């Protein structure tokens, strides 16, 4: 297979449902308050029961934990906080026995500042690893080389006093960006990918896939909106047109190279492609050639308001740009949980489940974030309880991600079954009704509804059937068919009626008040339905 690129993005992941495990907060096996690899192994049966096919595990590599594992100090190791290689191998073996695939987070945009490459690189301007990172002289007045800013607040440049040069970091200063124009960096990651493939992983979720290569001239990015001191880091970052630091053409060449490495192993490349304005045409470039990424996360659905026109624009435009190869997430460890995003309370939970009726039946790969299936909202934490550096290091902490990262409540015992120690971050005001144990034995719970929805998807979704819109862009009901199945979501502020195509339709699943008549369906507010064509 050397030098041969297999065209096309199809694979075992077609028809799969993914599940993101934020390892610190999933299940703690040893009582230190931090989730770990053996904890995941102990819950694989639950994930299989739920209807999951693919598990994505966030970083477990050795790390100083400045960004909770996304600052990697050894790409081919396992932090003792999370377990050992024996634990990892057992997890992979048990997952495969359960029919589950496992992909791991690859963090190629930046390393930890504690990585031996960076420590060596900062030792001397002549060091052999200096070129692994972006080092630049100050401007004539001693300022950073350009106006690039960090996702996490402040300048993207930090001055190294000893050498008198700045180094680039699009995230924390403890996360220096790697120089992907250096062939040695490219070769290092070839070996990292081969290492994990040899341990039978089923693929990689690629962190910051849009950020790897930079314009090496490093001009200033154009400013789109005036910046003021009351802006959060996310708002400041969005005020720039990231023309030179993100989404450079060289990214695709890297992913094409990786396809050569993973295709012989039948492994998945799933990219986190987080682009300005969530332009679907730019995201689609990462998958459309059929020889780069297999799937790319599209993040607009995690930010769209509960509004018909906004949702129509989001989904129609995305599916026009990339009809098959996007990945859809309801929530993630970086954003507020869906029930909170959609208004909170029981209404927010109902809207999140109704929205899932839409997401789970689109072409592409849907991914659940741990706890979505329980209807969990984000947790409100006190100022002194915050751990996320985005919150703790900035005067405006509104972008803090802690509320979505609190531990999973498994049962009503002390520590909610997550740990028998003190959790690394407060679990918050979860109740018995939030727990897996309670919801598994309660008819109509959020968990049982999600499990039913995924089973209906498995039993009835015709993967080869193209999506056909049942309603038009001016409708408050967003509805499409795929073969003999219709998915419909009412995003309007009042009840709506959906006329059905010819045939005998059966109501297979519904959220909220839905009434099926002979040739139409009546939807109350915040409702959704799956209809199946009777044979």
Judge residue 423's burial from the number of C-beta atoms within 10 Å of its C-beta, 0-12 exposed, 13-18 middle, 19 or more buried: buried
Q: Which residues of 20-40 are buried (b: 16+ CB within 10 A; e: fewer)?
A: bbbbbbbbbbeeebbbbbbbb
Q: Is 523 left (phi over 0), alpha (psi -120 to 50) or beta?
A: beta
CB count within 10 Å of CB 310 equals: 14
- Concatenate the DSSP letters of all residues of 377-443 into one string: PPPP--GGG---HHHHTSS--TT--GGG-SPP--SSSGGGGT-SS--SS---S--GGGSHHHHHTST
* Residue 272 annotated in active site: yes
CA gap 490, 509 in Å, rounded = 14
| Residue 529, strand partner residues | 488, 510
Name, in order, each residue with C-beta under 8 angstroms of 427's C-beta and a sequence gap of 6 or more: 379, 406, 407, 409, 415, 416, 418
Catalytic residue among 20, 53, 247, 272: 272
Catalytic residue among 67, 87, 207, 291: 207
CA gap 169, 115 in Å, rounded = 14
Contact (Cβ atoms closer than 8 angstroms) between residue 239 and residue 153: no
- The token duo for 131 is 């070129």
Active centre residues (catalytic): 207, 272
């Amino acid at each position: 297979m050397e030098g041969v690129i297999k065209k096309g993005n199809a694979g075992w992941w077609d028809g799969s449902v993914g599940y993101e495990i934020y390892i610190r907060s999933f299940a703690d096996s040893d009582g230190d308050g931090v989730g770990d690899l053996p904890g995941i192994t102990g819950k694989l049966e639950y994930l299989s029961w739920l209807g999951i096919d693919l598990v994505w595990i966030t970083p477990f590599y050795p790390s100083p934990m400045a960004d909770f594992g996304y600052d990697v100090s050894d790409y081919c190791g396992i932090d003792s906080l999370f377990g050992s290689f024996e634990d990892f191998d057992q997890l992979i073996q048990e997952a495969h026995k359960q029919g589950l695939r496992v992909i791991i987070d690859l963090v190629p945009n930046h390393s930890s500042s504690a990585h031996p490459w960076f420590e060596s690189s900062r030792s001397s301007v002549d060091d052999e690893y200096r070129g692994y990172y972006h080092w630049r002289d100050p401007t004539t007045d001693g300022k950073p080389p350009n106006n690039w800013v960090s996702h996490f607040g402040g300048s993207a440049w930090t001055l190294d006093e000893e050498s008198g040069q700045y180094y680039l970091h699009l995230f924390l200063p403890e996360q220096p960006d790697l120089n992907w124009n250096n062939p040695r960096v490219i070769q290092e990651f070839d070996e990292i990918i081969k290492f994990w493939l040899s341990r039978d992983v089923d693929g990689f979720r690629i962190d910051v896939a849009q950020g790897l290569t930079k314009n090496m001239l490093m001009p200033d990015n154009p400013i789109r909106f005036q910046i003021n001191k009351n802006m959060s880091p996310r708002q400041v970052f969005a005020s720039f047109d990231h023309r030179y630091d993100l989404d450079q053409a060289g990214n695709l060449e890297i992913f094409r190279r990786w396809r050569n490495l993973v295709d012989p192993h039948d492994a998945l490349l799933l990219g986190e492609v987080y682009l300005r304005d969530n332009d679907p045409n730019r995201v689609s470039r990462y998958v459309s050639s059929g020889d780069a990424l297999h799937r790319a996360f599209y993040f607009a659905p995690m930010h769209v308001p509960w509004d018909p026109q906004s949702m129509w624009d989001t989904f129609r435009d995305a599916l026009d740009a990339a009809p098959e190869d996007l990945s859809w997430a309801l929530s993630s460890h970086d954003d507020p949980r869906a029930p909170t995003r959609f208004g909170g309370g029981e209404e927010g939970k109902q809207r999140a489940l109704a929205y899932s009726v839409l997401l789970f039946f689109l072409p592409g790969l849907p991914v659940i974030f741990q706890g979505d299936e329980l209807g969990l909202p984000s947790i409100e934490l006190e100022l002194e309880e915050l751990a996320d550096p985005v919150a703790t290091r900035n005067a405006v902490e509104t972008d803090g991600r802690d509320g979505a990262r609190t531990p999973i409540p498994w049962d009503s015992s002390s520590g909610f079954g997550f740990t028998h120690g003190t959790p690394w971050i407060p679990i918050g005001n979860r109740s018995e009704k939030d727990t897996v144990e309670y919801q598994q034995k309660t008819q109509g719970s959020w968990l049982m509804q999600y499990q039913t929805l995924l089973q209906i998807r498995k039993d009835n979704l015709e993967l080869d059937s193209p999506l056909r819109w049942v309603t038009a862009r001016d409708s408050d009901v967003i509805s499409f068919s795929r073969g003999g199945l219709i998915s419909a979501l009412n995003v309007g502020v009042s009840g709506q009626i959906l006329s059905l195509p010819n045939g005998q339709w059966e109501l297979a699943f519904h959220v909220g008040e839905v009434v099926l008549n002979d040739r139409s369906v009546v939807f109350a507010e915040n409702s959704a339905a799956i209809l199946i064509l009777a044979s």
